[in-house]
Structure 1
Amino acid sequence: MNKIFALSAGTLLLCQMGMAQQKMVADKIAAIVGDKIVLRSDIEGEMVNLQRSTVDNTLPPNAPCMIMEQIIAQKVMVMQAERDSLPVSEQDVDGQIENRIRYFEDLYGSREKMKEVTGYSIYQLRERFRQPIKEGLLAKAMQDKITSSVKVTPSEVKKYFDAIPKDSLQFYESELEIGQIVIQPKATKEMDQYSIDRLLEFKKQVQEKTSDFGRLAILYSEDPGAKENKGVYILNRNDKQWDPDFLAASFRLKENEISSPIKSQFGYHLIQCIKRQGDNITVQHILLKPNVTRNDLAEATKKLDSIRLVILNGKMTFGEAVVKYSDLPMAKFDGGMLQNRMNGSSLITIDQLDQPSERDIVLLLDTLKPGGISKPMPYIDDQPGGRNGVRIIYLKTRTHPHRENMTDDYARIQQRTLQLKQAEARDKWLREKIPTYYIHVEDEFKQCSHIAQWIGSIAKQ
């Protein structure tokens, strides 16, 4: 039996985004699964995304069946997860929504372009995609429960590998595992106070009408968008994308009121309320980031040099040092290792080091051997307005170009073997569970192989 995978939250979001770009005829119910419906637009949207993902932009002949089967499988997993009260928090949902929004921002280049293409504001997109995202997370929680006990043995891995025709074995370019420890010094109290005093002076100038708030934002704000929008933003009270301190301070203001300097994770803000309307507020702000001095960076360099020697002398592992010293928010979760943005693994190729903060790593690679750690070097993160710091680079492994084999690629082969076994467990679960749910599909889908089996099983109940 072919594998049935539940659709991910990301795929569902892509589906809806794809449909937002098309002029659709009146929608139609294509299937009913329990108390949930599947719309014709769901199927057509997935067809668009599947076509985009193929090299030659063509669809397999069984695409409608494959997509409908996936959606039905997901709906059943969602309903079973709800029955079993599997935990999915609103924080998890909000986090996934923000990840998707950032993805599409990168895809289209800006929020303005994204709104132009999709026809939806950021707030509208969040609300539109909340339910699909939540269903995706529930389905994943159910899949994890089904497959959590599935394991593979070395003999199963070898059996899987031996069954692959030798001329079909994958060829891999040179790949690397690269880690980093980053220290981003905090500004001194004196530099904090300097930023606060400057903002207070700006406030005074605006109140005395010797300067215009928008002009000050253009000239002095360190918000990258201020040059274009004069620091003006429309906020919604329930919008989770904004720094919570910035958002809370904004909603405390009355119309035309100017705040005192407000500290956020980005620096210090001066905020003016332009207009309030229900849960929405229009504000204008000036952002100043307290400078990190050369002495601060020199101290961070000295500290990282000591950390490097401790690791090289075997008194601490790189991973332990990451947890203890790195200032990057994700370091404790990814162990300081750079992530492959295509598949989430720690194995990357040189051409994937294309972010501004990664380009100087390429120049280092010829001087590092596996296990080697660079001397401390300047670092600027990829956030707008880039924050300064210092880092050391760790080259964990480097592979040479090669054909897949059990020695160099055992972990990959083991993972694929595990995925197949997990898929078999999911298929078995679906065969047993689907007959306990009501399923109705339009006639054109009744001959799809899995759907025909499921409906036949239901009929026998």
Structure 2
Amino acid sequence: MTLNPLKQVALLTLMLCGLAPLRAQTVAYSGANKPVADQVVAAVGNKIVLESELENQLSQARQQQVQLPPDAKCFFLQQMLANKALVLQAERDSLPVTDDEVNAQLEQRLRYFIGQYGSQEKMEEVTGRSVYQIRDEFREPIREGLLAQAMQSKIFEGVKITPSEVKDYFDKIPKDSLLFYESEVEVGQIVLNPKPSPSVVQYTIDQLNDLKKQAESGQKSFEVLATIYSKDVATGGNVLTVDRTQHNFDPDFVAAAFRLKNGEISSVTKTQFGYHIIQMVSRQGDIAKVRHILLIPPITQIDLDRTIKKLDSLRTDIVEGKTTFGVAAAKNSDDDNVMTGTKRSGGMFTAQDGSTYLPIDQLDKGIVLMLDTLKVGEISAPVTFTPDPRMQNSSVRIVYLKSRSEPHRENLQDDYSKIQDRALQEKQYKALMKWYDEHMPSFYLRVDPQYADCPSIGDWVKKSQSAKD
């Protein structure tokens, strides 16, 4: 396998613990958006792996921008077989996983998806499935995930790392291979979006209704109207491809689009970006091609000043200790994008691994400029900025600098916890690989011939067959 042990453990953890995408259908899709013929590609005992499941794992990893090896299918199939083996052993050992635990995980996952879509009704509408169907679909995978985690915990329970082992691990790293840490910061923001007056909102809605009438009457084509009037300057009158199994678009936009027939134009639809009318160009299953006209109710200086005053008052409460930055962000911030927003993390920016420590070059330029004048522990005055240049709408934010580190070469004094984590992960990985070597021969193992050349999988199959002979 091409990934190093630590990345293998990280990806295995992703598979065991990560939230799989909620798809509108359980079939995998090829690059041409056509269904992939499903088949059993491998089995461990009575646990099977389907081609669609393998494709879905690859898709999930790509969405999360996980760096994949060249033999990605082999790698993920190996991890899926390994996961099934953990489940089987957990069942053999009667490791306790209760219905209450499964139900708790199931409800947590449902709350996550409902949060992504905005409401239970919107989730059901966009996915085409009721909440009861979704519960049925996820119950067994969640149970297996909990069993696999329980088995892995049992394997790891005796794996500890001592300070001397951490030092030995660090000393074995070639000096020219020691990581160099650029300056890292812990930084957060609270964002408020100015609200336009009701009269301005109604004027915008009336404009869109008039444009809809023009398109439906044939005065002008929807494409021409979109090119002239839409504030989404990146698309104009161009066709957008919307896959409702992904989460790249606002859920209200997706729901409105998939209610349409070919050529039909939606009523005015509100999203986080503004107000739209949408035209369905064509649709095939979960893939739709649409055009839209976006209008954004203009914000007046009065609206902006009102928002600045509100955020400045909130900043004063934080500075005076009446509330904390995290609580204030959770209650007030409008930065609530499911994938990139800071509201759910107490206002703090986070890396893909969940860490709040970020290199400065991963922050937007506006925040980088603000950090030049902020000391650790300080909160900036409210400033206006443009979250999405395509939409040209202004928001207001305050920025909190929690901590800052200086650039340095990795060392035990400054980076002990990071080195300790890597050393422990390596030791856990070795324990896990030893467990697989000892236990895989005890399971019935079958793999489709197309994956027979996958190195580690082939070794497991040979050992399993030898144990049966």
CA contact (8 A) 2:106 2:142 kept: no
Q: CA deviation at 1:309?
A: 2.5
1:340 correspondence with 2:347: no
- Partner SS, residue 392 of structure 1: strand
Q: Secondary structure at the match of 2:196?
A: coil
For 1:180, which of 172, 189, 199 is the aligned residue?
189
TM score, norm. by length of structure 1: 0.66
TM-score normalised per structure 2: 0.65
Q: Tell me the SS of whatever aligns to 1:195.
A: helix
The answer to whether structure 1 residue 285 and structure 2 residue 292 are counterparts is yes
Q: Report the counterpart of residue 131 of structure 2 in structure 1.
A: none
Counting matched residue pairs gives 401
Aligned to 2:405: 399
* Superposed displacement of residue 360, structure 1: 1.5
Question: Is 2:326 aligned against 1:319?
Answer: yes
Confirm or deny that 1:36 pairs with 2:53. Answer: no
Partner of 1:327, secondary structure, is coil
2:418 matched to 1:412?
yes
Is the contact between residue 340 and residue 348 of structure 1 (CA under 8 Å) also seen in structure 2?
yes
Listed one character per residue, the Cα deviations across residues 278-305 of structure 1 (whole Å, up to 9, x for unaligned) are: 8877654322122222222212212222
Q: 1:274 to 1:92 in 2, by over 3 A?
A: same
Please list, as runs of the form range in 1=range in 2, the aligned pairs for 1:88-127 lying within 5 A after superposition. Answer: none
Distance across 1 between alignment mates of 2:279 and 2:70: 52
8 Å CA contact 1:375, 1:392 repeated in 2:
yes
| Structure 2 stretches lacking a partner, 5+ long | 22-27, 33-37, 117-126, 128-137
> Is the partner of 1:409 in helix, strand or coil?
helix
Code of the aligned partner of 1:200: N
**Cα distance in 1, alignment partners of residues 185 and 151 from structure 2:** 33
Shift of 1:367: 1.5
1:214 to 182, 198, 223: 223
Cα deviation code 1:333-373 (max 9, x no counterpart): 322222235x44221212223xxxx1122222221221122
Q: Work out which of the residue numbers 291, 296, 307 in structure 1 matches 2:303.
A: 296
1: CA distance, partners of 2:76 / 2:246: 33
Unpaired segments of 5 or more residues in structure 1? 22-26, 100-122, 124-133
Q: CA 1:167 to 1:30, structure 2 compared with 1: closer, same or farther past 3 Å?
A: same
Q: CA deviation at 1:411?
A: 3.4
Of residues 236-245 and 259-268 in structure 1, the stretch that sits farther from structure 2 once superposed is: 236-245
Give the letter for the 1:305 counterpart. Answer: D
Mapped contact 2:200–2:297 kept (Cα < 8 A) = yes
Q: Indicate the percent of aligned positions where both proteins have the same amino acid.
A: 38
**CA displacement, residues 107-146 of structure 1 (integer Å, 9 cap, x when unaligned):** xxxxxxxxxxxxxxxx9xxxxxxxxxx8998876555444
CA RMSD of aligned residues (A): 5.4
In structure 2, the residue matched to 1:164 is: 169
- C-alpha offsets along residues 64-83 of structure 1, whole Å, 9 cap, x if unaligned? 99777544313434677999
- The whole-number CA distance in structure 2 between the counterparts of 1:35 and 1:445 is 19
Q: Which shifted more, 236-245 or 293-302? A: 236-245
Aligned to 1:362: 368
The CA distance in 2 between the partners of 1:208 and 1:67, in whole Å, is 53
Aligned partners of 1:172 and 1:402 also within 8 Å: yes
Residues 3-82 of structure 1 aligned to structure 2 (within 5 Å)? 5=9, 6=12, 8=14, 32-33=43-44, 34-36=46-48, 69-77=78-86
The answer to whether the Cα contact below 8 Å between 2:188 and 2:348 also exists between their aligned partners in 1 is yes
Where do 1:139-158 residues align within 5 Å? 141-146=146-151, 156=161, 158=163
Contact 1:182–1:390 at 8 Å: present in 2 too?
A: yes
